[in-house]
Structure 1
Amino acid sequence: MHTRFPRAESREFDAAHFRQALSQFATGVTVITTRLADGTLLGLTASSFNSVSLAPPLVLWSLGTQANSLPVFSGNSHYVINILGADQAHVAQQFASKKENRFEGIPYSLSRTGQPVLDGVSAWFECHNRSQYPEGDHVIFVGEVEHCEVNPQAALVFHNGSFIRTGEI
């Protein structure tokens, strides 16, 4: 069921204040990776990750409609969501940069479907690109998890504009 309600009342809304309020919600940090048919690797940092369902196993993340990588992630059949560990802030920063080759110096291996899995992450989810929903200035991606792995460790968290290490497990 997909219910649509009328839009919220139109009123003045302070986007900067909204962003500041959102920054008070601590989130885990992920790097979403995929590989193009020609072997080119693509990845980006995202904090908009969440579980959706256990049966079937579904997760979601979102990407801005203005992102140059949107056509690639929209068109590829698979991607990997890498959950970064506490010592991987440099990885988050590199994949958030405008750097041409974001994989430079970052060790990885390939999943069963040939998607890049970053070394040292606390968990990763190999996803089939199940569905996409344009909402506002983002597209919400729902991935069906085909395989996942866990490497329990302290987490990297983003809060109030900064990376924070959680305590040891």
Structure 2
Amino acid sequence: MTAAVSPPDAKAFRAALGRFATGVTLVTTRAADGQPIGLTVSSFNSVSLTPPLVLWSLSLGSSSQPYFDTAVDYAINVLAADQIELARLFATRPLASRFDGVEWTAGVNGAPVVAGCAAVFECRANARHLAGDHTIHIGEVLRCEHREVPPLVFHAGGFDLTPK
């Protein structure tokens, strides 16, 4: 006989998840009119080496959700430790002005590649899966690059500013 177990409340669940340190990314794409779209995302992981696949997830309530629901191409920009202000900007500024003053170039398929990042994965949408209150996006990596700099890390509800 198995004992009945209640799921954790949202506050306890979030606190436990906060014990797992993660990198910080900007996921970027272009709207149909060419406008750059992006947001701060910490839910990023590798999936497969062959073919090269990565995943990230996006809240169904995000203002960016409609753009990524239809995006064919996007870039996952892994922020460097000195890019904390970009993480904050893309998490808090209104969607239409997030790229104001941000240096970027168009990647292989047009998705914005942000300057100075620790790594960039340029992806083509491979699959989307609805899971709870998020969509899990799986992307096939078309091109990637990296620099030998420390990444920005998020842990326990804040940025880890410990010198590396």
TM-score > 0.5 by shorter chain: yes
Map of 1:114 onto structure 2: 110
CA distance in 2, matches of 1:25, 1:16: 15
Residue 84 (structure 1) shift: 0.3
CA distance in 2, matches of 1:44, 1:94: 9
CA distance in 2, matches of 1:75, 1:11: 36
SS state at 1:87 partner: helix
Residue 10 (structure 1) shift: 6.8
1:17 to 1, 8, 12: 12
SS state at 2:142 partner: strand
SS state at 2:51 partner: coil
SS state at 1:51 partner: strand
Gaps of 5+ in 2: none
Percentage of pairs with the same residue: 48
TM-superposition CA deviations, 1:8-47 (whole Å, max 9, x none):
x672531101101111110000000001231111000000
CA distance in 2, matches of 1:125, 1:166: 26
What TM-score comes out, normalization by structure 1 length? 0.90
Q: Greater helix percent: which structure?
A: 2
5 Å matches for 1:68-107?
68-99=63-94, 100-107=96-103
Any conservation in 2 of the 1:30–1:83 contact (CA below 8 Å)? Answer: yes
Runs of 4+ in structure 1 off by over 4 angstroms are none
Map of 2:152 onto structure 1: 156
CA distance in 2, matches of 1:54, 1:121: 22
Letter in 1 for 2:123: C
Map of 1:4 onto structure 2: none
CA distance in 2, matches of 1:16, 1:118: 33
Any conservation in 2 of the 1:28–1:156 contact (CA below 8 Å)? Answer: yes
Gaps of 5+ in 1: 1-8
How many matched pairs? Answer: 160
* CA RMSD after TM alignment: 1.4
